[in-house]
Amino acid sequence: MKNIILILLLILIQVEVGYTTEIKVFNFTENELSELKVRKVRGAAKATIYSIGSNESGNFLKAVADNAASGLGKEIKIDLNKTPFINITWKVEKDLSGIKEDTKKGHDFAARVFAVKKTGATPLSNRAINYVFSSNSDIGLNRPSPYTKKSIDYVLSTTKENLNEWVTVKANVKDDFKKFHNLDVNELDGLAIMSDTDNSKMKSIAYFQNIYFSTE
């Protein structure tokens, strides 16, 4: 009997050690797309066109930005002490090679995912990590947005290495807020997806799939 109890305890320990919590942020369904908050960037000629598609891995969001800029936002509370890692699967089919992403005239990305923390009474006071699929910069590069120091551009993927290829990336959001904003963030307030080309006046095509938070 003691041996059986010991075996059961060992199994439970192994299950607990190997257990990983995952919190999916988007389902990428037509119904969800109709309910997400659409924010057109002020001054942009047009809004980015978002649509739903599917492949062998499930549903995805397609974003076509032709001299356009708008984002899709979702208010969601994420406990960063339990699930600090954001995981993103994305692809850029048509990139924005040649632009200077560190300038206002070239600050466009075919694919971005914003992690947002409310730090004041208005949206302008919020802090954000802007995880980007760059067309020109190397993976790991990070710098403040040319528009505001409250948003940090952080390159997780680049078309210099992966053009028209699905890529899955991971980042520790809690650590990034501490590193780039010197903030101890326990809870995230929202996430936003955006494809924008309003500054460069170019056209990009990108895809987003399987965005979730995990323990590791």
Report the alpha-carbon distance of residue 14 to residue 125 in Å, rounded.
44
In this structure, how many other beta carbons lie within 10 angstroms of the beta carbon of residue 143?
Answer: 14
β-pairing, 22-24 with 109-117? Answer: unpaired
Residue 96 in domain: yes
pLDDT for residue 121? 61
The residue behind tokens 């980042």 is 171
Residue 79 in domain: yes
Angstrom CA distances, 144 to 15, 74, 153, 159, stand at 42, 23, 6, 21
Residue 1 in domain: no
Report the alpha-carbon distance of residue 65 to residue 73 in Å, rounded.
17
Report the alpha-carbon distance of residue 209 to residue 158 in Å, rounded.
17
Cα radius of gyration (the chain) = 19
pLDDT for residue 21? 85
Residue 15 in domain: no
pLDDT for residue 10? 35
Residue 6 in domain: no
Interval 82-105: pLDDT, tens: 999 999 999 999 999 999 999 999
109 by Cβ neighbours in 10 Å (0-12 / 13-18 / 19+) ranks as buried
What's the number of domains the chain is made of? 1
Structural domain boundaries enclosing 36: 21-214
pLDDT for residue 6? 35
pLDDT for residue 203? 97
CATH code of the domain containing 58: 2.60.120.430
In this structure, how many other beta carbons lie within 10 angstroms of the beta carbon of residue 141?
Answer: 15
In this prediction, the residues of the chain whose per-residue pLDDT falls under 50 are: 1-18
Residue 11 in domain: no
pLDDT for residue 56? 95
Residue 141 in domain: yes
Residue 7 in domain: no
